[in-house]
Amino acid sequence: MERIIAFIMSIISFISMILPFPVAPQTDSVKFASSLGAGWNLGNTLDSWQIPEPDDTEICWGNPKAEKALFSLLKESGFNSVRIPVTWFQHLDDDGNIESEWLDRVNEVVDYVIDCGMFAVLNIQHDDQDWLITDNEHERSATETLVKLWKQIAERFAGYDEKLIFDIMNEPRVVGAETEWQGTDEGRQVVNRMNSAALKVIRESGGNNADRYVFITGYAASDLEENFTAIEIPDDPHVMISLHYYPGTAHRSEFKDCEEKLTLKQKYEIYKKLRAFYETFAAKGVGVCITECGWTDRENLWNLADRAKYVVRTANRFGFYCFVWDNGADFMLIDRNNLSVAYPEYTKAITNQRIR
């Protein structure tokens, strides 16, 4: 009987995946999100925070300083967007003002990306290791710092056009809590209120920020249904949703890395998750992107590419795109030291190019 039920479920899964994919209402938010194309994360660079010396900020996690040639390579490799994770807390004075040298350097990297013809996504990354604590006890102080930080960033980039996107928070959560990744109702509502406060100061900061596209996220940017369905979507046509999804990696995974290709059951689980993202946001006219995804398995490269291809192509069929996480180490795509594509088949899968 169990085999019969499993067989019936596999047939249902297969049929659901081959049916025509729905088309979201073509609002400005949905259309803009779908224009971002394949994305890449400049991981473990401007976001490093365990800094032995202030001048080591970019290189202390093992990567070289980002230069324009890197972004030219990304553009040539099929990427259309670059997410620039930035950790700010070690570059703030006692009054919450950003060090001018640090803001200048962030600005320089943003310009590299845009000058290479790509979209740049600028965020707040690991400040959850310091002041960004999303519970009731810390909400007031965290919101004050968040608002002051985004006011300075927004004013600096007010003259930039739609090629620059703001990503308010990375994975807002309570680091070290028993429910750090699962979240609580309290944490989910704190994140919603902090999103609202930051969005307000961005919109009021002048220049092109009144209509700039902005990513908001839920608790921990989580793919858990109780977290992403709790996101309060503002009445703002230029807001999009940022979610993180790591299926088949060594951490925060639904499936362990394996030597075999995805089974039908695993494909269906991925399909269901991506469809839930679609129905929660895109179907309601809100653009959505998976701003972090990735795989660590480098022992089975062909199967790695096969898994990546399935996730990316399924997301694309729902009308949204993926930004791969690249930390220069176990999640590497690009060899930044030699300015070369370290894993061509994996990279082609992420950028939805034809692979063998």
CB 184 within 8 A of CB 133: no
Residues 6+ apart with CB under 8 A from 200: none
Residues with catalytic function: 171, 292
Whole-number Å distance between alpha carbons of 151 and 206: 10
Whole-number Å distance between alpha carbons of 40 and 70: 12
Whole-number Å distance between alpha carbons of 109 and 45: 11
Helix, strand counts (H, E) of the chain:
10, 10
CB atoms within 10 A of CB 200: 14
Whole-number Å distance between alpha carbons of 316 and 269: 16
Tokens of 157: 């980039």
Whole-number Å distance between alpha carbons of 217 and 244: 9
